[in-house]
Structure 1
Amino acid sequence: MDTNEILQKVRKIEIKARGLSQNIFAGQYHSAFKGKGMAFSEVREYQFGDDVRDIDWNVTARFHHPYVKVFEEERELTVMLLIDVSGSLDFGTTQQMKRQLATEIAATIAFSAIENNDKIGVIFFSDRIEKYIPPKNGRKHILYIIREMLDFHPQSTRTDIGMATAYLTRVMKRHCTSFIISDFYDRKDFTKEMEIANRKHDVVAIQVYDPRAKQLPDVGLLKVMDAETGHEMYIDTSSRKLRQAHTRYWIEREDKLNTVFAKSRIDWTAIATNEDFTKALMLLFKRRA
């Protein structure tokens, strides 16, 4: 992709993502992702029922009357996007590639974050940490992130979600809200890393998938390739048994994912490349509000 093409795509994504974040997600994002810390706001006279632990003894001594400290929830958040850049994201049979969908979702979350004056950072991962962009706020920073998402060339095609989640736990010293955007094609179990990360942070999982992963069409002999290993083979999609086995595999895989996220107490949603992702995000935000 040349520079002009990248800039055009960045602009197109910015227009769509900013519109969604301003018009649709403004209130939903705010209520779904609340600051965890408490910041001192003011002092006022003690009232019946106030917690005695909140008494400000210095002010009380000065005015010879009990005063309490009033705290407000800190609104500014740090938001981290963990974006899967492995080979399996370069697949799509309908409207777009999984990678394109992941980019639009990430951009929309990023613009929602800055509308809320939150900082946003990114971890690009495959089976290694491909790139870490520290959290900052502002439109310029988000446009840089979108450019990277559109034109990023990973060193590896494989996936290691547990490694990426463990890295998040290590690199982010303070509490943050983290969105893991991936198709979650990982043969290793990452439950433990998810549990540890979600105890320290607020982790949300967004699965992107192609509808053909659910159901194979009957189109006869089809050549397929594993994008992460490069292995190629032919399959006969006219076989009903094969198509049924494919669907069973999808159901079993989704059940396993659901178990992982339930054990880790992580909110998650699955979005297909031929779906309107705004509806899925809205439902996710409403569940958390």
Structure 2
Amino acid sequence: MTETTDILKRVRQIEIKTRGLSNNIFAGEYHSAFKGRGMMFSEVREYQYGDDIRNIDWNVTARFHHPYVKVFEEERELTVMLLIDVSGSREFGTTWRFKKNVITEMAAVLAFSAIQNNDKIGVIFFSDHIEKFIPPKKGRKHILYIIRELIGFKPESRGTNISEALRYLTNAIRKRCTAFIISDFMDDNFEDSLKIANHKHDVVALRVYDPRETEIPNIGFVKLKDAETGNYTWINTANKKTREAYKEWWRKNEQRLQNAFSKSGVDNVAVPTNEDYVKALISLFKKRA
């Protein structure tokens, strides 16, 4: 009962914070950054100088012996999917927030921003397999259910398979959608799946990392645990070559990820746990707009 009460309390706290952000900051940015699925017919009006002749309605033109054009407007309603990484590596943080806390808040902000624009929102929780699928719907009740799951969901596995999540998205969502994949991207060999998914949908990558993951401090011998496999290993951080080798691995991994996003045509942003994710999201939205 205590755990349930605590989850509901956190749901309320996150709702207040993230709904305020989406109302006051993201509303306009989100609307302009994520367009509708296409253009839908609105009306027919008389041809005006400068109109595209490809939009002439020849049936109406023949009837009234005067050129008329079809007018289209953007089809605003979107389906938004959140692909949430629930693997073991998200349970890491050396500042005042774990990666999973940042992932939860960003997902909630995007969910409220979507619902303000009358968009449907759905979620795919993934580890090294699909843990849970929440079909896209509208409504505040649906949003609060999503936030409860973001906070309280307990995965069966601790591994990561981004390709599996992307394949599931491609197969489960038939019509084009905007898909945010929120992960630390501690995985390999997902580039092909990313290309395929982004060809069908509009995929956006939000990568969350902790600053301590970028380099190893000199603190002597330490026992490290792999959050996903559970394996332990001892490392001598006093060894300069060890620290430099890890730093070089991180640099190459960063380059590998950027190449994967670039080749797949996927917009992306990196969000460290010790900085405000609001600036990163606004920067991404403005870039897309």
TM range (shorter): over 0.9
Matches within 5 A, 1:31-70: 31-70=32-71
Q: Name the structure 2 match of 1:124.
A: 125
Matching residue of 1:75: 76
1:58-105 residue CA offsets vs partner (Å, 9 max, x unmatched): 433443333221000111111100000111111111111111110011
2:249 matched residue in structure 1 = 249
CA contact 2:39–2:74 (8 Å) conserved in 1: yes
Distance 1:84 1:19 in 2: 25
| Residues in 1 aligned to 2:109 and 2:237: alpha-carbon distance in whole angstroms | 37
Aligned to 1:265: 265
Aligned to 1:147: 148
| 1:36-76 CA distance string (max 9 Å, x none) | 31111111012344344423344334433332210001111
Residues in 2 aligned to 1:265 and 1:11: alpha-carbon distance in whole angstroms: 37
How many angstroms apart in 2 are the aligned matches of 1:199 and 1:155?
30
Secondary structure in 2 aligned to 1:123? strand
| Residue identity matched to 2:227 | A
CA distance in 2, matches of 1:66, 1:31: 33
Aligned-residue offset at 1:148: 0.4
Q: What secondary structure, in the 3-state scheme, does the structure 2 residue paired with 1:124 have?
A: strand
Q: Deviations over 1:83-135 (max 9, x none)?
A: 00111111111111111110011101111111111111100011111111111
In structure 2, distance between residues paired with 1:201 and 1:125: 18
Is residue 175 of structure 1 aligned with residue 176 of structure 2? Answer: yes
Deviations 1:122-156 (A, max 9, x none): 00011111111111112111110010011111111
In structure 2, the partner of 1:193 is: 193
Report whether the alignment pairs 1:17 with 2:18. Answer: yes
Aligned-pair distance for 1:4? Answer: 0.6
TM-score (norm 2): 0.96
Secondary structure, in 3 states, of the residue corresponding to 1:207?
Answer: strand
Structure 1, residues 246-272: CA drift from partner, whole Å, max 9, x if none? 211111101000010010011111111
Q: How does 1:152-171 map to 2 (within 5 A)?
A: 152-171=153-172
Secondary structure at 1:217's aligned position in 2? coil
- State the distance in 2 between where 1:132 and 1:143 align: 16
Secondary structure of the corresponding residue to residue 176 of structure 2: coil
Identity of aligned residues (%): 64
Cα distance between partner residues in 2 of 1:190 and 1:151: 27
* 2:231 corresponds to: 231
Shift of 1:8: 0.6
SS in 1 for 2:123: strand
Q: What secondary structure, in the 3-state scheme, does the structure 2 residue paired with 1:34 have?
A: coil
Aligned partner letter, 1:195 = K
Structure 2 counterparts to residues 127-138 of structure 1, below 5 A: 127-138=128-139
Unaligned runs of 5+ in 2: none
Asked if 1 retains the 8 angstrom alpha-carbon contact of 2:37 and 2:77, the reply is no
> Using the alignment, how far apart are the partners of 1:140 and 1:61 within structure 2?
51
Name the amino acid aligned to 1:232: Y
Q: 1: CA distance between counterparts of 2:113 and 2:50?
A: 38
What CA distance in whole angstroms lies between the structure 2 residues aligned with 1:23 and 1:244?
44
SS at match of 2:216: coil
1:210 corresponds to: 210
Aligned partner of residue 282 in structure 2, secondary structure: helix
| Pairwise CA RMSD | 1.4
2:21 maps to a residue whose letter is L
Which amino acid letter does the alignment assign opposite residue 210 of structure 2? Answer: D
Aligned to 1:104: 105
The residue type paired with residue 185 of structure 1 is M
> 4+ runs of 1 displaced by more than 4 Å?
none
Shift of 1:238: 2.2
